[in-house]
A = this chain, B = another copy of it.
Amino acid sequence: MVMQTMQIRLTNGLINEIKILVDLGIYPNVSEAVRDSVRMLVTSKETPKGIPPAREEEIKTIQEKIQKEVKEQFQNPKGTEDYYPEEMSIRNKVFDVLRKNALKFGFLEVDSPVIEDLDLLKAKQGDEIIKQIFITEKKGDEELALRAEFTPSLARMFIAKQKAIPKPVKWFCINRVFRYEKPQAGRQREFFQFNVEIYGCSKPEADAEIINLSIESLKSLGLNEKDFFVKINNRKLIQGLLSEIVEEKQLEDVMRIIDKRKKISEDEFNSELEKIDITLDQIKKIKIFLDSKINNLNPKNELAKQGLKELKEILKLVDKKFIKVDFSVVRGLAYYTGTVFEISDTKEKFRSIAGGGRYDNMIELFKGDKTPSTGFGMGYSTLRLLLKEKGLLPKEDIGVDYYIAIVNKDVKEKAFEIAFNLRKKYRVDIDLMQRNLGNQFDYANKIKAKNVIVIGPDELKKGKIKIKNMKSGKEAEKAIEDINV
């Protein structure tokens, strides 16, 4: 059983009362008593066994008090995350790498409001995401909600400038999206997405550009072909080929089942297809297609021909060592019209790291002029998990270059002046607490300061300061001018 340490705050009075429970032998120790209170709070279980009946009421009262105190501490809502300095520094560094990389590919960063009209967010009808939209309580007539993905907002922004802006438009954004699910393990209600779009280009070059950017994004974080791969397919190809095997009206269901193929057994796959009246002969043909090599395909169907041509064209322009053609990649039923791709860790241990493809009807769906579009989304959560597993999380960067220790109040003003000058170039902290020197060094050590500068009256008279390197422990005396670089 993996335990996590957390801080709780209880009054002395309550702790004394818990101790009564321990003394009674009902709990082995105070911690277990608190844990059990919390368990009961969560599961609404009965009070523990073995309580002398005469004291049941008394004990119940104590437990209720403990529960109340634990409950009364403010917590972040389930599915949200507090970014403390270490984690924030890592997030900033990862996003900086993604940003710089996207800029190198000629994409420009944009950002949409968090709050959007509910109608916009609902326009992609039939989508699973719609059920998870955070809607705000109305004041007046507007129906407002929180963005649950970037596609609708960026489409709206593109459409507003559609006539004037030179095409293709290459945009990206990195920010939070929101999904309101009931709290359950591992489901986040706020999370970060790196979202990339090309509007106004129907050519396979645009799909290749998108795929190359997704690969380079991961490579620039230190991941390589041993860590991840890109599964690629084309919806025209698969739809075209399947329409030679099954009936038009079965197509959607067949694709839905193909999408699940990797997650279910061979038998389940067969029986699901049989359930929608696909014959054994048809199933055999579907499998032959799914397991084909791309070079062995020779479709007669026009749609499939077009899809195959696009796929082959893309393969010429991307780094093949990351690519695996996989005809079972369908990416749900939503709006994809051509290229589809997914990035997974090599062992497919985590959820997809990224996914995307071409959706040429999307801009029209949001009431713009028909515009070919392609793009992808990459979630920070899975990316972070993979980076962590591979030991590739950027090093947090939280320690200041210099901590300025102040020997006494006579040199305080001079110390602040030295800090002021050093801060033009370095990260500098300074004693704000009027603490003694030992406590100042202790604090400097805890906040991971790289060097401590000691400002004292004797040294100042000589125009000198003492510097201690906190890693090596070496001390040196320097002229003040020498550190004011």
Chain A residues in the interface with B (C-beta under 8 A): 7, 9, 72-78, 80-85, 88-89, 91-92, 103-106, 108-117, 119-120, 123, 134-137, 139-140, 142, 144, 146, 156-157, 159-164, 166-168, 170-171, 176, 178, 180, 182, 189-190, 198, 201, 203, 205-206, 208-209, 212, 216, 316-317, 366-367, 369, 398, 400, 403, 412-413, 416, 420, 423-424, 426-434, 443, 446-447
Contact = CB atoms under 8 A, between A and B. Distances in A.
Contacts of A80: 113-116
Nearest to A200: B433
A91 B99 CA distance: 14
Contacts of A74: 117, 119-120, 123, 156, 159, 366-367
A427 B103 contact: yes
Tell me the number of copies of this protein: 2
A148 B287 CA distance: 55
A442 to B, nearest CB: 8
A190 B114 CA distance: 8
Nearest to A155: B74
A74 to B, nearest CB: 4
B157 A427 contact: no
A110 B88 contact: yes
B110 A83 contact: yes
Given A119-B74, A366-B74, A106 B7 contact: no
Contact of A73 (B81, B163, B208, B367): B367
B111 A83 contact: yes
Given A82-B160, A139-B182, A166 B426 contact: no
Contact of A135 (B112, B136, B203, B412): B136
A209 to B, nearest CB: 6
